[in-house]
Amino acid sequence: MSNSVKQTRREFIKVVGISGSGLILASFIPFNNVLANVGDDPKIFSPSVFLKIDSNGIVTIIFHRSEMGQGVKTALPMLVAEELEVDWEKIIIEQSDADKKYGNQSTGGSTSVRRNWEPLRVAGATAREMLILAAAKKWNTGTSNCYAENGFIINKSNGKKYSYGELVEDAAKLPVPTDVKLKDPKDFKLIGKRVHRVDTPDKIFGKAIFGIDVVVPGMFYAALSRCPTFGGKVKSFDAAKAKSMPGVVDVVEISNGVAVIADSTWRAFKGRDSLIIEWDLGPYANVTTEDIRNEMLKHVKDEGAELENRGNINTNIKDEIKLDAVYEVPFITHAPMEPMNCVAKYQNGKAEIWAPTQNAQDAQNETARVLGISKNDVTVHITLMGGGFGRRLVNDYVVEAAEISKACGKTIKLTWTREEDMKFGFFRPPSMSVLKGSVTKDGKPAKFYHHVIAPSISQMRFNKNLKAEESDIADGTIDLQYQIPNLKITGTLIPTHVPISWWRAVYNSQNPFAVESFIDEMAYAANKDPFIFRKEMLPSDSRLANVMNVAVEKAGWQVGKKLPAGKGMGIAIFSGYESYCAQIAEVTVNNNKLKIDRYVAVIDCGIVVNPDTVEAQLEGAIVFALSAALKSEITIQKGGVKESNFDDYPMLAYDETPVIETYYIKNTYKVGGVGEVGIGACAPALTNAIFAATGKRIRRLPVKLI
Amino acid sequence: MPKYKLNVNNKNYNVTVEAGTPLLWVLRDNLNLTGTKYSCGEGLCGSCTIHIDGKAERSCIVSVEEAVDKKITTIEGLAENPDHPIFKTWIELEVSQCGYCQPGQIMTLAAMLDSDSRPSRKEIDNTMSTVLCRCGTYHRIRKAIDKIVEEKQ
Ligand code: FES
Ligand code: FES
């Protein structure tokens, strides 16, 4: 009967690949029908941790990363299914728990598809080859006389076939081959097709279970009061009033503050609001954004530690036209629509966690650490996520929930409010970029110098002694593909106590803004069309040049053409995550009022697994990056965050969203990243367009026109 | 402790909660209708949108007592008809990303289309611009709405 327990955790999906106009969503496979077909004890064939086939022919693909809207719960199983030759409409996709047997489960850095491209196809191909061998043996024929198709092994000479289910027992006895042959990309049947997302119907019908929706029998609800300043802590507290509130069952202190446990979320919130806490505000109680900015400003005249050096930036060039500028971006936060939350159950030295986490193995380790138990005694169930964008790579909310569960001896769901999400985030660090450059009088680039001044995430999170040379702060400006004869990149690390972390694209959200804006300034100084100026700096056969050429064509960019007053087009390009992206923004500025009319984005991410999700990720990245460019700023005041909700930390709305056209390049290059690739070029395309429209150069985000 | 009689998706419920409890939390915690989402709690984002007597309302700022004797519909209620043109178009165009804001988007749109099957672009803009989506699905929402409105004509 253990089997039927497993069955209930399975998710039945039925999706149809779409091509051309024929878009159909087939109805779901009724749950009971499938159960009826399943014997009491089906044999299981599972040559890899990523899939299992039972003797009833049911194929289950294990999804081991985290789905936060980027579509990998569809894309990764597609990789297995492609090689396995199964009917995509009939597979079951099962979300894994945290377990190192799956390898790296951390869902960040646009890595899910490119890091699993080979292992998951190998998993599918291995099973396929074993099923072929099992069938060949039954028929007493050679494997070359057999092939796999749609869940069957077919005998070429007589057309007979075995279903996978019929071969499970025999295949399970075979040794697992180590050198299977993968399909030639030209033979792909699923990869490259527009496949419907497996989780869409549940999400739009309100049935999908996000972390915040998890209900575990006997569960209570928790809310936590945290110190309003970074680095502060509880001095003393009075829980009497909170304890007298309806539904409140306990009040406990944990390392991050004081938690109220109640029989509903709202009662936990109300109880938490009734706590009387005296805080020790800690050493940073008076810190403001200006203090941190002044710290960066101090280094604007410094040289910075050398990170990259080509040619000689100090060489003398006759009649060079020099320019310099300082670019700057603020702290910002992720603000996914689903606030942080976690269900934790600590009992008898074992913990069970249900978490919307991008980093499940870290959640497992962190829970074990804080509870003082072995990580083998921690089970982490990964739930769907209402957005992640990097925020859920840090498992602070999991640690809090685990501590609360242990302290009160109950299973609890900790839910953060939006206000807490704004104030207790892990922020995208601010940065300042000092740029100096020159062009020759015949319009060629001569020098480019970029000094990045910023707090380092890798320094804060991994190694306090990290030097600028070893840090992450210059990502997005190091290794530029532009062929500029004299180039130097330097960096200065700024210490900060404000928690910082990875925000979609990380430093690729800020450095390309400075670089691509300044390149634009250089183009104007050289009296060149910004597209032509860039094109002349790139090898003509490069993939980056190619996406730019395609974007120019799609957007109708006309070299040297001035648009009517108040209108402008801006171009910017980006390479990273083994992919390439060009974007062209078209804006209208009237009386200092900005309207973004259109974005054209072209991506080359090598082989495309699911075109529809690639396009969706580009569209989403543009809206996300535009919110940051136009609206987002986290202000530190009195040692904490001033912003509290979507009224003072607004985001782009429906009517402000431009028409977005996305294109991808069809090729068979190695699979590249997608989720973060659309961020880098977005802000500079916008501000370059604003310059083209108004002559005003935006050097500080968020954009202010007056 | 006060008792409230609620009619949600054509079913009657009795709940015992304090006066002033937002309907959102009653739906989610007491009735386990978790399709209605919490995101801002201040009426700023629209994730928690439901219908009260056919009108789109933000359940995080409607108190339980205000909902008594009214007809409440949540996304689960709307989904009793999975062939609703909104659902079909949403799937066809793959509007959703993380999906968290989508029940709110859909409930907001459904109420608008119920009151006016041929809304003007301005009306659509004004209504839909109050529902936030951090994943940035606006572009596809627009396409979907255009398609639904066009097909109605
Ligand atoms: S949660 Fe109700 S409007 Fe945001
Ligand atoms: S789809 Fe993720 S917030 Fe809208």
Domains of chain B in sequence order: 3-78 (3.10.20.30), 85-152 (1.10.150.120)
Single-letter residue type at A71: G
Burial zone of A197 (CB within 10 Å; 0-12 exposed, 13-18 middle, 19+ buried): buried
Atom 3, ligand 1: residue with shortest CA distance? B43
- Is the pTM of the predicted complex or chain greater than 0.80? yes
Per-residue model confidence as pLDDT tens digits over A79-121: 999 999 999 999 999 999 999 999 999 999 999 999 999 999 9
Nearest to A477 by CA among A299, A302, A327: A327
Question: Does the distance separating the beta carbons of A624 and B98 come in below 8 Å?
Answer: no
Instruction: Tell me the three state secondary structure of residue A152.
Output: strand
Chain B segment 48-67 residues within 8 A of A by beta carbon are none
pLDDT value at B2 more than 50:
yes
Q: What is the DSSP letter of A173?
A: T
Per-residue model confidence as pLDDT tens digits over B45-97: 999 999 999 999 999 999 999 999 999 999 999 999 999 999 999 999 999 99
What pLDDT sits at residue A28? 28
* C-alpha to C-alpha distances, A357 to A67, A420, A512, nearest whole angstrom: 9, 17, 28
Counting runs of H as helices and runs of E as strands, what totals does chain A give? 18, 29
Question: Are the CB atoms for A94 and A60 separated by under 8 Å?
Answer: yes
Which whole number is the average pLDDT over A401-424? 98
Q: Does B37 touch chain A (CB under 8 A)?
A: yes
Whole-angstrom Cα distance, residue B35 to residue A635?
33
Distance to chain A for B11, nearest Cα, Å: 17
CB within 8 A of B7, min separation 6: which ones?
B13, B69, B70, B71, B72
Chain B residues with CB under 8 Å of A210 CB are 37, 100
Residue A39 pLDDT grade (very low, low, confident, very high; cuts 50, 70, 90): very low
Whole-angstrom Cα distance, residue A520 to residue A323?
12
Question: Does the distance separating the beta carbons of A652 and B100 come in below 8 Å?
Answer: no
Ligand 1 pocket: which of B28, B34, B45, B129 to mutate (most atoms within 8 A of CB): B45
pLDDT value at A341 more than 80:
yes
Whole-angstrom Cα distance, residue A479 to residue A474?
10
Optimal mutation site among B3, B31, B40, B62, interface A, most CBs of chain A within 10 A: B40
Per-residue model confidence as pLDDT tens digits over A137-194: 999 999 999 999 999 999 999 999 999 999 999 999 999 999 999 999 999 999 999 9
DSSP-derived pairing of the beta strands A445-454 and A486-493: parallel
What pLDDT sits at residue A41? 61
Distance to chain B for A255, nearest Cα, Å: 26
Place of tokens 């159909």: A24
Per-residue model confidence as pLDDT tens digits over B115-132: 998 999 999 999 999 999
Q: What does the DSSP assignment read for A337-404?
A: SSPPEEEEEEETTEEEEEE--S-HHHHHHHHHHHHTS-GGGEEEEEPB-S--TTGGGS-HHHHHHHHH
Per-residue model confidence as pLDDT tens digits over A228-242: 999 999 999 999 999
Question: Does the distance separating the beta carbons of B47 and A336 come in below 8 Å?
Answer: no
In chain A, the domains with their CATH numbers are: 9-204 (3.30.365.10), 211-282+340-415 (3.30.365.10), 289-331+427-694 (3.30.365.10)
Question: Does the distance separating the beta carbons of A246 and B97 come in below 8 Å?
Answer: no
Two structure tokens written together for A554: 């799609």
Place of tokens 């009022």: A593
Instruction: Tell me the three state secondary structure of residue A361.
Output: helix
Distance to chain A for B96, nearest Cα, Å: 7
Which whole number is the average pLDDT over A604-628? 98
For the CA atoms of chain A, what is the radius of gyration? Answer: 28
Distance A643 CA to ligand 1 centre (A): 17
pLDDT value at A678 more than 90:
yes
Mean pLDDT over the full length of chain A: 93
User: At A485, phi and psi to the nearest 5?
Assistant: -60, -35
* C-alpha to C-alpha distances, A489 to A302, A305, A382, A517, nearest whole angstrom: 13, 8, 40, 16
CB within 8 A of A180, min separation 6: which ones?
A122, A125, A126, A128, A129
User: At A258, phi and psi to the nearest 5?
Assistant: -120, 130
pLDDT value at A1 more than 60:
no
Asked casually if ipTM beats, i.e. exceeds, 0.95, the reply is yes
CB atoms within 10 A of CB A340: 27
Q: Does B83 touch chain A (CB under 8 A)?
A: no
Q: Which of A209, A270, A645 shows the shortest C-beta gap to B44?
A: A645
Nearest to A606 by CA among A677, A662, A665: A665
Question: Does the distance separating the beta carbons of A206 and B139 come in below 8 Å?
Answer: no
* C-alpha to C-alpha distances, A214 to A268, A354, A362, A534, nearest whole angstrom: 16, 7, 20, 51
What pLDDT sits at residue A36? 32
Residue A603 pLDDT grade (very low, low, confident, very high; cuts 50, 70, 90): very high
Question: Does the distance separating the beta carbons of B38 and A336 come in below 8 Å?
Answer: no
Two structure tokens written together for A2: 């253990």
pLDDT value at A375 more than 80:
yes
Two structure tokens written together for A616: 């969706």
Which whole number is the average pLDDT over B15-33? 97
Per-residue model confidence as pLDDT tens digits over A198-213: 999 999 999 999 999 9
User: Does A650 sit behind a cis peptide bond, omega within 30 degrees of 0 on the bond before it?
Assistant: no
Optimal mutation site among A16, A24, A200, A204, interface B, most CBs of chain B within 10 A: A204
Chain A residues with CB under 8 Å of B148 CB are none
Question: Does the distance separating the beta carbons of A206 and B103 come in below 8 Å?
Answer: yes
Place of tokens 């066809």: B92
Residue B1 pLDDT grade (very low, low, confident, very high; cuts 50, 70, 90): confident
What pLDDT sits at residue B152? 83
- Which ligand 1 atom minimizes the distance to the CA of B38? 1
Distance A508 CA to ligand 2 centre (A): 22
Taking CB atoms and a 6 Å cutoff, what residues make up the pocket around ligand 2? A 69, 337, 387; B 96-102, 133-135, 137
In terms of CA atoms, which chain A residue is nearest residue B125? A655
Q: Which residues of A113-136 are buried (b: 16+ CB within 10 A; e: fewer)?
A: bbbbbebbbbbbbbbbbbbbbbbb
**Largest Cα–Cα distance in chain A?**
85
Chains A, B: CB contacts under 8 A, how many? 193
Burial zone of A145 (CB within 10 Å; 0-12 exposed, 13-18 middle, 19+ buried): middle
With pLDDT > 90 as the criterion, what percentage of chain A qualifies? 93
Chain B residues with CB under 8 Å of A196 CB are 91, 94
Instruction: Tell me the three state secondary structure of residue A660.
Output: strand
Nearest to B62 by CA among B30, B25, B28, B29: B25
What pLDDT sits at residue A8? 30
CB within 8 A of A472, min separation 6: which ones?
A456, A457, A458, A506, A507
pLDDT value at A45 more than 60:
yes
In terms of CA atoms, which chain A residue is nearest residue B60? A266
Residue A27 pLDDT grade (very low, low, confident, very high; cuts 50, 70, 90): very low
Residue A561 pLDDT grade (very low, low, confident, very high; cuts 50, 70, 90): confident
Whole-angstrom Cα distance, residue B131 to residue B146?
17
Instruction: Tell me the three state secondary structure of residue A689.
Output: helix
Distance to chain A for B66, nearest Cα, Å: 17
Question: Are the CB atoms for A514 and A435 separated by under 8 Å?
Answer: yes
What pLDDT sits at residue A192? 96
Distance to chain B for A179, nearest Cα, Å: 37
Q: Which of B22, B106, B136 shows the shortest C-beta gap to A624?
A: B136
Question: Are the CB atoms for A204 and B90 separated by under 8 Å?
Answer: yes
Question: Are the CB atoms for A267 and A313 separated by under 8 Å?
Answer: no
DSSP-derived pairing of the beta strands A257-262 and A220-225: antiparallel
Question: Does the distance separating the beta carbons of B36 and A653 come in below 8 Å?
Answer: no
Residue A591 vs residue A37, higher pLDDT = A591
Ligand of minimum distance to the alpha carbon of B43:
1
Whole-angstrom Cα distance, residue A210 to residue A354?
10
Distance to chain A for B69, nearest Cα, Å: 22
Question: Are the CB atoms for A91 and A79 separated by under 8 Å?
Answer: no
In terms of CA atoms, which chain A residue is nearest residue B90? A204
Per-residue model confidence as pLDDT tens digits over A267-277: 999 999 999 99
Q: What is the DSSP letter of A185?
A: G
Which whole number is the average pLDDT over A577-606? 98
In terms of CA atoms, which chain B residue is nearest residue A197? B94
